[in-house]
């Protein structure tokens, strides 16, 4: 047994120098340089906000509408709903004041025993019904325009999480990214409103019809952008659809408008609308960043020699003489 052990030790002593020499040779061998491709980061232009556009103003008025649906809705509010509400309020207040003064106890020691009045009952039933009918006409038109969108130029999927948004671009290869709210210090550096900006903004092209598919991974959220007149719930296990079209490039800010938990107030939406060329460059950078090959347009069918001869003959043929 001792003899076997001595033989193993002797063999190990002989192998060790050879193994060390091999390691030294490998370490001393030149390492060929590795070519590293420059992958541009898909970062948008980080546009600065414009005062009074796409963000809260701190007043009682609605945000400036930036879509055709928003303009239609604001027109209805300013010229239909608000005048009706103001008129009804003033009328009811005046009628109440007149009733208190006219039928006070001092002026009417003997109270009236009138139980009902058919004319007044017809009026207070018919007039509110007519008011609702007047409001219904522009309301139905607005709803029809809002839920009958034109053909989409681009589709975005927005998934609500507790408490951030995840965006997917299915038309551009399906790349995704998360959008998380920035801290107060980070928004101060960017010069954007506190609690409303995010690290990765949703980027869309100007002048394009954007279809937004909303869903959620946990609880009910709501994708809301006041300046676009967009508000659509994101429900787990369900896909809801909304749309918008913005012609003016810029930064537009919104928030989740559904009570989705303790950090509901910290789930903003930041949409950056870019010119088409700038948007295409951002998409190309994002695709390269995620290892996605851009879609190549189908090439035009080749013209066969026979077809080329036919086209040449038609071009060379003189025009037909007019009929006698």
- The tens digit of pLDDT for each residue in 76-128 reads 999 999 999 999 999 999 999 999 998 888 888 888 888 888 998 999 999 99
Residues belonging to the chain: 324
Reply yes or no on whether the pLDDT at 56 is more than 50.
Answer: yes
- Are the C-beta atoms of 130 and 176 separated by less than 8 Å? no
**Residue 43 confidence class, pLDDT cut points 50, 70, 90:** low
pLDDT averaged over every residue in the chain: 82
- Are the C-beta atoms of 48 and 192 separated by less than 8 Å? yes
- Are the C-beta atoms of 269 and 54 separated by less than 8 Å? no
The closest of 254, 227, 176, 273 to 64, measured between CA atoms, is 227
Is the bond leading into 178 cis (omega within 30 degrees of zero)?
no
Percent pLDDT > 70 in the chain is 77
| Of 6-15, 164-173, 195-204, 315-324, the least confident | 315-324
pTM for the whole structure: 0.72
Provide the Cα torsion 19, 24, 26, 29; round to 10°: -160
| Separation of alpha carbons 145 and 212, rounded Å | 16
Q: What is the mean pLDDT of residues 228-239?
A: 95
- Are the C-beta atoms of 210 and 274 separated by less than 8 Å? no
- CA quadruple 196, 261, 244, 174: dihedral sign: positive
Q: What is the mean pLDDT of residues 218-236?
A: 95
pLDDT tens digits along 136-180: 999 999 999 998 889 999 999 999 999 999 999 999 999 999 999
**SS3 assignment, position 47:** coil
| Separation of alpha carbons 123 and 89, rounded Å | 17
- Are the C-beta atoms of 223 and 80 separated by less than 8 Å? no
Please tell me the predicted confidence (pLDDT) of residue 307.
43
Please tell me the predicted confidence (pLDDT) of residue 201.
95
Reply yes or no on whether the pLDDT at 314 is more than 50.
Answer: no
| Chain-centroid distance, C-alpha 323 | 63
Please tell me the predicted confidence (pLDDT) of residue 323.
41
- Contacts (Cβ under 8 Å, ≥6 apart) of 75: none
**Residue 301 confidence class, pLDDT cut points 50, 70, 90:** very low
The closest of 222, 257, 216 to 237, measured between CA atoms, is 216
Whole-number CA gyration radius for the chain = 36
Most confident of 1-10, 25-34, 106-115, 153-162: 153-162
The closest of 80, 208, 91, 73 to 135, measured between CA atoms, is 80
């Amino acid at each position: 047994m001792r003899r076997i052990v001595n033989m193993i030790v002797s063999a190990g002593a002989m192998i060790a120098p050879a193994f060390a020499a091999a390691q030294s040779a490998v370490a001393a061998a030149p390492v060929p340089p590795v070519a590293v491709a420059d992958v541009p980061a898909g970062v948008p232009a980080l546009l600065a906000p414009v005062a009074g556009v796409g963000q809260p103003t701190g007043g009682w008025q609605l945000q400036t509408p930036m879509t055709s649906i928003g303009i239609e809705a604001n027109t209805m509010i300013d010229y239909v709903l608000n005048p009706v509400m103001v008129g009804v309020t003033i009328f009811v207040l005046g009628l109440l004041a007149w009733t208190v003064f006219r039928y006070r106890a001092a002026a009417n020691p003997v109270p009236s025993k009138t139980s009902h009045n058919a004319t007044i009952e017809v009026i207070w039933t018919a007039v509110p019904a007519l008011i609702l009918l007047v409001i219904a006409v522009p309301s139905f038109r607005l709803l029809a325009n809002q839920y009958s969108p034109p053909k989409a130029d681009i589709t975005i999927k927005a998934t609500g999480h507790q408490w951030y948004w995840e965006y997917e671009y299915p038309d551009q290869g399906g790349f995704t990214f998360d959008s998380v709210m920035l801290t107060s210090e980070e928004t101060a550096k960017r010069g954007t409103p506190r609690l409303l900006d995010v690290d990765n903004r949703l980027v869309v092209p100007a002048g394009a019809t954007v279809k937004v598919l909303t869903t959620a991974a946990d609880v009910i959220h709501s994708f809301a952008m006041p300046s676009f007149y967009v508000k659509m719930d994101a429900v787990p296990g369900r896909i809801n659809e909304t749309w918008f079209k913005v012609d003016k490039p810029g930064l537009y800010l919104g928030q989740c408008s559904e009570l989705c938990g303790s950090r509901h107030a910290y789930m903003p939406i930041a949409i950056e609308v870019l010119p088409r060329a700038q948007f295409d460059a951002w998409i190309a950078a994002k695709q390269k960043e995620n290892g996605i090959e851009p879609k190549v347009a189908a090439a035009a069918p080749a013209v066969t020699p026979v077809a080329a001869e036919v086209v040449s003959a038609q071009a060379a043929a003189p025009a037909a003489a007019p009929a006698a």
